[in-house]
Amino acid sequence: MKLGKYAAALVVTSFLLTGCGNSKTVKEDGKYVVASLSKDKKDKNIFADDIFEDITNTTSGKSAFFEAVLQQLMDDKFPIDDDMETDAKRTVDQIQAYYESQYGDSAEEQLNTILSSSGYASLDAYREAMVKAYQKSNFLLDYVENNFDEVFDDYYTQSSPREASIIKVAMTDVDNPTEAESTKLNEVAALISSSKSFGDIAKDYSDDTATKMNKGSLGVIDKTSSISSTYGSDVETKILALNEGETSEAIKGSDGYYFVTVTNTDKDTIKKSLKKDLSIDSPLISYDLYLPYIAYQSYDVKYSDDDVEKLVNSIIEEALKERETSRGGTE
């Protein structure tokens, strides 16, 4: 893959130039013509150099530029395949099914409202974005697979991963529990204080259908897991605060009470677990927002224009400085 100003400008601005003119890959005064606009029988050429300069003079422009360059690299090394298309379709189908079950006849209207507020013109546009998201995940997965030890060491340091389990005692009205609900809560609390294992209690008593049959296991939880959307922020905070072997008191949630325990924080054990189950769903893919910049650097990208190479390198350097600062370092 070679990148020059002409190619880079086309990648970033192709959506703006559709239908603007009939320009070919031609030059005028040594400059590449990207498009030609006609007005009052006069032609005005748009040059790659000018677009390149306009795009890369702002923070948002630089971000868009890097994403476009990254996309070109991914298209070259990890072209979209049937699996990515299938995964995206499955995700969209699941979303549609959820909205239909929740909203019935108004499902389409509700879904379109959410899509619009998120910047998507249609469900097809969202599906296309999901295809590219799966493409990017596979790109990052390849980097993690080839640099597993280095990535895991950083992940373990930054994200405080631990294996945790949960028990839920559901309540219709958490502020006014029924006698049966209160009795069950007290029974579970007593069992936790006994010698019975947390996992066995979860299997016998937990109302959390997602974890019950797996003895309450939540798998690996870390600072980026965002389980608060499912169980509430108090549950997430408590899991991250507990040491290995510690169990919480009852935690009040919106639809019941929860008990959580941390079963393991051992680095080697968690490392083996994550390596065994390494996939695009791994937290190693998503824990570091700056991983795409690091992964990009691992490729020997050839540039046909020195200015493009300098800009890409400066964007990456700036991003990695932000990464260091966000972690408490200094620029």
Strand partners, 164: 219, 262
Q: Is the same domain home to 256 and 187?
A: yes
Examine residue 103 and state whether it is found in any structural domain, yes or no. no
- The count of structural domains within the chain is 2
What pTM was estimated for this model as a whole? 0.80
What integer pLDDT is reported at residue 63 of this predicted model? 86
| Alpha helix ranges (H) inside 253-300 | 267-276, 283-286, 291-297
Q: Is the same domain home to 239 and 320?
A: no
* Coil, strand or helix at 326: helix
Examine residue 205 and state whether it is found in any structural domain, yes or no. yes
pLDDT tens track for 211-227: 999 999 999 999 999 89
Query: How does the average pLDDT of the chain come out, rounded?
Result: 87
Looking at per-residue pLDDT, the higher value among 50 and 122 belongs to 122
Tell me if 163 sits within 8 A of 219, measured CB to CB: yes
Q: What are phi and psi of 35, to 5 degrees?
A: -155, 165
Give the separation between CA 248 and CA 211, rounded to whole angstroms: 17
What integer pLDDT is reported at residue 215 of this predicted model? 97
Residues whose CB falls within 8 Å of the CB of residue 46, separated by 6 or more in sequence, listed in order: 17, 20, 23, 33, 34, 35, 36, 37
Examine residue 78 and state whether it is found in any structural domain, yes or no. no
Which residues constitute the domain of residue 260? 162-264
Examine residue 272 and state whether it is found in any structural domain, yes or no. no
Give the separation between CA 96 and CA 99, rounded to whole angstroms: 5
Give the separation between CA 269 and CA 311, rounded to whole angstroms: 42
Looking at per-residue pLDDT, the higher value among 141 and 7 belongs to 141
Question: Which of 97, 87, 47 lies closest to 55, judged by CA?
Answer: 47
Tell me if 245 sits within 8 A of 99, measured CB to CB: no
pLDDT tens track for 245-280: 999 999 999 999 999 999 999 999 999 999 999 999
Examine residue 133 and state whether it is found in any structural domain, yes or no. no
Cα Rg, the chain, nearest whole Å = 26
What integer pLDDT is reported at residue 156 of this predicted model? 97
pLDDT tens track for 55-113: 667 788 888 889 988 999 999 999 999 999 999 999 999 999 999 999 999 999 999 99
- CATH number, domain containing residue 255: 3.10.50.40
Asked whether residue 41 carries a pLDDT value surpassing 90, the answer given is no
**Does an H or E element contain 105, and which?**
none
- How far are the Cα atoms of 68, 69, 135, 153, 304 from residue 1, in angstroms, in the given order? 13, 10, 18, 31, 10
Asked whether residue 13 carries a pLDDT value surpassing 50, the answer given is no
What integer pLDDT is reported at residue 283 of this predicted model? 95
Tell me if 240 sits within 8 A of 231, measured CB to CB: no
Looking at per-residue pLDDT, the higher value among 145 and 49 belongs to 145
